[in-house]
Amino acid sequence: MTEHTEHIDSAKTYILVFLCLIGLTLLTTAVAFVNLGDFSVVAALTIAVCKMLLVALFFMHVRHSTKLTKLVLAGALVWLGILILLTLTDFATRGLGGVPGR
Amino acid sequence: MITAAVTERENYLNVSHGLKSWLLTKDHKRIGLLYLFTITLFFFLGGAFATLIRIELLTPQGGLVSSETYNKLFTMHGVAMIFFFLIPSIPATLGNFFLPMMIGARDLAFPRINLLSWYLLVIGGLFGLFAMLAGGVDTGWTFYTPYSTTYSNSWVIATALGIFVAGFSSILTGLNFIVTVHRMRAPGMTWFRLPLFVWANYATSLIQVLGTPVLAVTIVLLFSERVFHIGIFDPALGGDPVLFQHLFWFYSHPAVYIMVLPAMGVLSELVSTFSRKPIFGYKLVAFSSVAIAVLGFLVWGHHLFVSTQSVYAGMVFSFLSYFVAIPSAIKVFNWTATLYKGSISYATPMLYAFGFIGLFTIGGLTGLFVASLGIDVHVTDTYFVVAHFHYIMVGGTIMAYLGGLHYWWPKITGRMYPELWARLSAMVIFLGFNFTFFPQFILGYLGMPRRYHVYPPEFQVLHVMSTLGASVLAVGYAIPMVYFVWSLRYGKLAPDNPWGATGLEWKTPSPPPPHNFDRIPIVEHEAYDYSTVVGEVMEVG
Amino acid sequence: MASQIHAETLALREQFNTEAQQKDAATLGMWIFLITEIMFFGGLFLAYTVYRRWYADAFAVASSSLNVYIGAANTVVLLSSSLTMVLAVRAAQLGKRKAIVWFLVLTLLLGGVFLGVKAYEWNQKFVEHHIPGPAFHFEGVAQQGPAQLFFSLYFAMTGLHALHMVIGVGLLTLLIVQAAKGRFSASYMTPVDVVGLYWHFVDIIWIFLFPLLYLIDRHLGK
């Protein structure tokens, strides 16, 4: 199984992706000045994830890569998710139920 | 009588001479031996600390060492054994040596990174050794804050630095194995024709690359807290010491599977060869290795049951902890089913395999005890837990490691070890082990805390029994040191396949040539296909 | 298929059978290294998540003391360096020696600009007494602890990121020297490829660091 190196993206594609990234950067900066309450962090992270996907899919060629590469990347994100989410089962539930020290 | 002409055949040991040819080698087989040498030193260092601990525990009042020194003894015992012996052990010695051969490759994907891995272990080990000699560290191998960050006056940073560096050794080995198994299998060597030892090391490598980096960043934070007082674990500044525990155990729980999965891989090889039967339920055993690796990451909170972790998280982690027992149990059942109607030989490796099955089962079952949130509140931080993990790591991993060493010794060295002495020491080890650690289950259940050297007099009988067992165990470990070295010069010359085993490593001469295979083999048979070794004589005794 | 033992070249080392196999192995190896980096930074992201939830207000106030325009501009600089990096990889795939060198040099320069701006920002923090430690003092909060925690995480995360940038700069320098010597061609450009992956990864880390550190509740307008 080889990496799909025959497919060489055009410079135009890369520049287009770059412009999207700049746009999203400006967007996230602007949105930060708008009061979205709790949704602010969701918006910021969503935009960041979009930027990450653009860099990964286009600049890192994940778009053309093997299933294994995609699995490796997805796996890492899942593992990061496990680290944060399972730890939050502790930090987000302390004091729930009103029992002291629990 | 094999003639001198055969022993002059070029192999990986005699192809070049001199220190430089070893210290700058790219050969995975030589690197495996470099590791063997290094980890054996750390095993005996850790064992020396264990000896002092057991002697101290002979009397209820202690008296041999002060409390401060005792704290250092159990800390350094844990650090040496876990980070510089057990974690590297099977993967870096037997895995390094045999994984490429088993898949039909000439070496690992990245030989120079392999060598770097060894150097990192040595450097990390030297930092740790320096810390031990300079005065020691007394925080427990778990380095809990705030003691490790604020109050301890011992060599925390030097030790942590050593562990940090050794961690990268582990990460790079894992990375190397994963790429090798994916990209360097010989033609016809499909995933489901791989020896189960390869599956086990592959699963272990997944844990190494996903878990160890978290330990690394935890150590960076520990360092920053201790030196710069950044507040991340300091309640006075708004930090939470339990955050350290979450970060630490996110790695350190999967770490125990780094220590046991390769051992299970060895077991599959031994049980198959010495029953002369394919492993029952090959795919289940293969998948169970990956399942253990994955599930092992979901349970770390069971180390935090009595911390200020919320009870709801405790319930989640307790629930998840039961599941990780299932794939382990699957393996034990499958090994047992393999034995059924097998042609069983009681050669030394098989004795170790039997020992593993029994002792790992006990250790694993007691794991269910401590997975229970309610029971753990009673037995946590007692000798019950100490006995639980020693049954798995010593009764399990070390037995499998010794079994594997004996099994592959002929291939590695071209010599047979003396079978009688080997069987004797296996039995001495089994006996000594049980006398050392079974009393500790009782002690723990009765309330004897871990990491204490002063205890109520009514516990003395059990402690004395444990120490006596440890003395026997020590003798058991010393004997192979002697005969293995002896065998290098005086051992019977080994044939290519003394055990009549399947697997590509047994198709090469003993010891193997530098590049393993003159021509990359083409694999046409399933794993453990004994029809391919009909007539290969089993050499026993 | 070089299934027999063969002499070693850069593009086909001893342990491999084909050049494609070697390239695949190198790429997979770099990807796995990157996932170890994701988990390494992940511990810091965890600490950040925990403490931001606990100290939302203090974190918002502390975050507002960072210059959002400099942060955004620096983000653009780093994204530009990713563009020049992928163009360098593309040049290598096409075997255009001079283009490889120029794009790598541009990437290096942009990376240098990023680091220079970061140094300036850190110096600002030093001047304002926002560096955690005995001299820390943040105006306008009742408790210093949580504000200091923000800055501890700020320096830990941007510091670790900067360290990775410096390593990247080192790698780029090595690549530029080799590229100038004509070491790379369409059939052998693996080092450019894998350094590119590394560089983009470091960029992705910053893509998250920017909003998490600079954009906390800016609407509060402090």
The secondary structure of B443-498 as a DSSP string is HHHHTPBTT-S---GGGHHHHHHHHHHHHHHHHHHHHHHHHHHHHHHHSPBP-S-T
DSSP calls for B12-60? TTTSS-SHHHHHT---HHHHHHHHHHHHHHHHHHHHHHHHHHHHHTTST
Helix, strand, coil proportions of chain B in percent (round to 5)?
70, 0, 30
pLDDT digits (tens, 9 = 90+) for B310-342: 999 999 999 999 999 999 999 999 999 999 999
C22 burial via Cβ count (<10 Å: 0-12, 13-18, 19+): buried
SS3 string of chain C?
CCCECCCCCCCCCCCCCCHHHHHHHHHHHHHHHHHHHHHHHHHHHHHHHHHHHHCHHHHHHHHHCCCHHHHHHHHHHHHHHHHHHHHHHHHHHCCCHHHHHHHHHHHHHHHHHHHHHHHHHHHHHHHCCCCCCCCCCCCCCCCHHHHHHHHHHHHHHHHHHHHHHHHHHHHHHHHHHHHHCCCCECCECHHHHHHHHHHHHHHHHHHHHHHHHHCCCHHHCC
- pLDDT surpassing 80 at residue C52: yes
Cβ contacts below 8 Å, chain A against chain B, sum to 43
| Cβ neighbours of C145 in B, within 8 Å | 231, 236-239
Determine the residue type at C20: A
pLDDT digits (tens, 9 = 90+) for C167-177: 999 999 999 99
Cβ partners under 8 Å of residue A87, min gap 6: B246, B250, C46, C50
Interface test with B, best of A86, A91, A99, A102 (most B CBs within 10 A): A86
Q: For A84, which of C46, C94, C204 is closest by C-beta distance?
A: C46
Tell me the pLDDT band of B373, cut-offs 50, 70 and 90.
Answer: very high
Say yes or no to pLDDT of B427 above 70: yes
Dist. CA C171–CA B5, nearest whole Å: 50
Q: Give CA torsion, residues B410, B415, B418, B423, to 10 deg.
A: -10
Is the minimum CB–CB distance between C50 and chain B shorter than 8 Å? yes
pLDDT digit string, tens, across residues C9-22: 888 998 998 999 99
Does A91 contact chain C (CB < 8 Å)? yes
- Measured between CB atoms, does C138 come within 8 Å of chain B? no
pLDDT value of position B538:
66
Q: What is the mean pLDDT of residues B471-485?
A: 97
> Given A22, A36, A88, which is nearest C76 (Cβ)?
A22
Q: Over the stretch B386-412, which tens digit does the pLDDT of each residue have?
A: 999 999 999 999 999 999 999 999 999
Residue B252 structure tokens: 């350190």
- For residues B204-212, give the mean pLDDT: 98
Q: Does B308 touch chain C (CB under 8 A)?
A: no
Rounded distance, CA B512 to CA B93, Å?
15
**Is the predicted pLDDT of residue C123 greater than 60, yes or no?**
yes
pLDDT of res. B518: 84
Query: Residue B204 in contact with residue B175, Cβ under 8 Å?
Result: no
Structure tokens at B190: 């499909």
Q: Rg of chain A over CA atoms, in angstroms?
A: 19
Of the candidates A58, A48, A63, the one whose C-alpha atom is nearest the C-alpha of residue A14 is A58
CB contact under 8 A, C36 and B111: no
Yes or no, beta carbons of A96 and B310 under 8 Å apart: yes
Whether residues C197 and A60 touch (CB distance < 8 A) is answered with: yes
Q: How far is CA B244 from the centre of its chain?
A: 25
pLDDT at B4: 47
Interface residue ranges in chain A relative to chain B, Cβ cutoff 8 Å: 68, 75-76, 79, 82-83, 86-87, 89-91, 93-96, 99, 101-102
**Mean per-residue pLDDT for B215-228?**
96
Query: Do B337 and B381 form a contact (C-beta atoms < 8 A)?
Result: no
Mean pLDDT along residues C192-213: 97
H runs (alpha helix) in B229-324: 241-273, 282-295, 311-323
The upper half-sphere exposure of residue B300, i.e. CA atoms within 13 Å in the direction of its Cβ, equals 31
User: Cα(B439)–Cα(B387) distance, rounded to whole angstroms?
Assistant: 8
Q: What is the residue-averaged pLDDT of chain B?
A: 95
Pairwise CA distance, residues B511 & C86, whole Å: 47
Report the residue of chain A nearest C63, measured CA to CA: A32
Beta carbons of A48 and A28 less than 8 angstroms apart: yes
Cross-strand bridge partners of residue C4: B519
Q: What is the ipTM of this complex?
A: 0.95
Q: What's at B64, amino acid-wise?
A: L
Q: Which residues of C touch A19 (CB under 8 A)?
A: none
- Is the pLDDT assigned to residue C67 strictly greater than 90? yes
Partnered with residue B493 across adjacent β-strands are B415
Token pair 């105006």 is found at C139
Distance in Å, alpha carbon of B314 to nearest chain A alpha carbon: 8
How many Cβ atoms from other residues are within 10 Å of residue B528's Cβ? 23
Q: What is the pLDDT along chain A (102 residues), one digit of tens a residue?
A: 344 456 889 999 999 999 999 999 999 999 999 988 889 999 999 999 999 999 999 999 999 999 999 999 999 999 999 999 999 999 999 988 777 767
**A22 Cα to chain C: minimum distance (Å):** 6
- What does the H/E/C string look like for A28-55? HHHHCCCCCCCHHHHHHHHHHHHHHHHH
Write the residue in C34, C35, C215 that is nearest to A28 by C-beta: C215
Query: Which of C8, C15, C164 best tests the B interface by mutation, with the highest count of B CBs <10 A?
Result: C15
The confidence band for C221, taking pLDDT boundaries of 50, 70 and 90, is: low
For B338, the token pair is: 């393999």
* Contact: A90, B214; criterion CB under 8 Å: no
Banded model confidence at residue B7, pLDDT cuts 50, 70, 90: low
Kindly tell me if the per-residue pLDDT of B498 is higher than 70.
yes
Cβ distance A33 to C39 less than 8 Å, yes or no, reads: no
Chains with at least 3 CB pairs less than 8 angstroms from chain C = A, B
Beta-bridge mates of residue B415? B493
B154 in Cβ contact with B132 (< 8 Å): no
CB B379 within 8 A of CB B371: no
Which of A76, A82, A99 lies closest to B298 in CB terms?
A82
Going by pLDDT thresholds of 50, 70 and 90, the confidence category of residue B519 is confident
- Residue C27, amino acid: T
Tell me the mean pLDDT in the region C116-124: 96
Residue A3: its pLDDT value, please?
A: 46
- pLDDT for res C92: 95
CA distance B183 to chain A (A): 8
Residue B413: predicted pLDDT? 97
Higher-scoring residue by pLDDT: C219, A8? A8
C3 confidence band (pLDDT: 50, 70, 90): low
Q: What is the enclosing helix (H) or strand (E) of B5? A: helix B4-7
Tell me how far apart the alpha carbons of residues C222 and C65 are, in angstroms, rounded to a whole number. Answer: 8
CB–CB of A96 and B316 under 8 A?
no
* Contact status of A39 with chain C (Cβ, < 8 Å): no
Q: Which residues contact A85 (CB under 8 A, 6 or more apart)?
A: none
Tell me how crowded residue B251 is: count the other CB atoms within 10 A of its CB. 26
What pLDDT score does A4 carry? 45
**Cβ distance C200 to C85 under 8 Å?**
yes
For the segment B66-86, the average pLDDT, to the nearest whole number, is 97
Angstrom CA distances, B105 to A84, B189, B377, stand at 39, 10, 50
Binning chain A into helix, strand and coil, the percentages to the nearest 5 are 70, 0, 30
Tracing tokens 């080994």 back to the chain, one arrives at B494
Is A76–C38 a contact, with Cβ atoms under 8 angstroms apart? Answer: yes
Residue C191 in this model has a pLDDT that exceeds 50: yes
Residue C141 confidence (pLDDT): 84
Nearest alpha carbon to residue B287 among B218, B192, B155, B416: B192
H helix or E strand, kind and range, residue B420: helix B419-446
Output the pLDDT for position B1: 47
